[in-house]
Structure 1
Amino acid sequence: MYEISAVSHFDAAHFLRGYAGKCANIHGHRWKVAIKLTGSELDDMGILVDFMDVKQVLKEVTEIFDHKLINDIPPFDQLNPTAENIAKMIFDEMKTRLYDRMQCQVNIAKVTVWESENTSAAYYEI
């Protein structure tokens, strides 16, 4: 099994509805997002998926949030914009976009979202 990963960043604010603490107030982060892809077969050049393609799609997805209030962006206008929920949304969006564009035989192993250098949440399917 082969595994590749790509990382992107965005700057955005959010607040947590119903949270009893400082995070109920609007605040911002330099968010980091990493995606891991796995697959068992390489193409004729020995590539699982072109890094440039993965980075481009990841950039398109993370640009949705860049320099915005995440709480204003669907589904987070209704859903609490926790790192866990953001990781799942990015996972789902990447899955749709990668498969639609590349028709590739890879699996998204995991999407990890960091709110800071010391805290992260991840989403993956079993």
Structure 2
Amino acid sequence: MYSARVEADFAAAHFLSHYHGKCENLHGHNYRVLLWVRGESLDEGGMLADFGLLKKALRQVVSELDHSNLNDISEFRGDPSAERIARYIFTSLEKMFGEFSLDPALLWAVDVFETPTSMARYERG
């Protein structure tokens, strides 16, 4: 099994409505996002997927989140946790991979780091 990874960053604000503590207040993070693809075969050029296309797709998705208040995005329903952000990015990428000539079946996981030591992952089940 082969796997490959690209990453991108974005900055955004959020608060957690159902959390009791300092994260219920508006605050921001410099998020780091890792996009993982996985597959059993390589293309004729010996690659699982083109890094350039993966980066372009990921950058397009995170650019929509960059410098925003994540609570304003309806999919997060007032609680834009790292877990929900990871799922949102995963499903957004899954829908758009075809536009970049990428096989959606290769999409394996998305990791979202709120800090260098705190990360959530959404992966294909």
TM-score band (shorter)? over 0.9
Show CA shifts across 1:30-55 (max 9, x none). Answer: 00000110111211111111100000
The answer as to whether partners of 1:31 and 1:116 remain within 8 angstroms in 2 is: yes
Residue 73 of structure 1: how far off its partner (Å): 1.9
The answer as to whether partners of 2:57 and 2:100 remain within 8 angstroms in 1 is: no
- In structure 2, give the amino acid aligned to 1:37: V
Distance in 2 separating the partners of 1:105 and 1:72: 28
The answer as to whether partners of 2:16 and 2:78 remain within 8 angstroms in 1 is: no
TM-score, normalised via structure 2 length = 0.93
Residue 68 of structure 1: how far off its partner (Å): 0.8
The answer as to whether partners of 2:58 and 2:93 remain within 8 angstroms in 1 is: yes
Distance in 1 separating the partners of 2:98 and 2:37: 12
Distance in 1 separating the partners of 2:120 and 2:111: 6
Residue 105 of structure 1: how far off its partner (Å): 6.7
Residue 100 of structure 1: how far off its partner (Å): 4.3
Equivalent pairs: percent with the same residue?
A: 36
Which position in structure 2 is the counterpart of 1:26? 26
Which position in structure 2 is the counterpart of 1:111? 110
Secondary structure of the residue that 1:75 maps to in structure 2? helix
Give runs of aligned pairs for residues 1-126 of structure 1, distance below 5 A.
1-76=1-76, 78-104=77-103, 106-126=105-125
RMSD: 1.4
Structure 2 residue runs without a partner (length 5+): none
Distance in 1 separating the partners of 2:72 and 2:108: 28
Structure 1 residue runs without a partner (length 5+): none
The answer as to whether partners of 1:39 and 1:107 remain within 8 angstroms in 2 is: yes
**Length, aligned pairs only:** 125
Alignment CA distance shift 1:73-1:45 (3 Å) = same
- By percentage of residues, which structure has more helix? 2
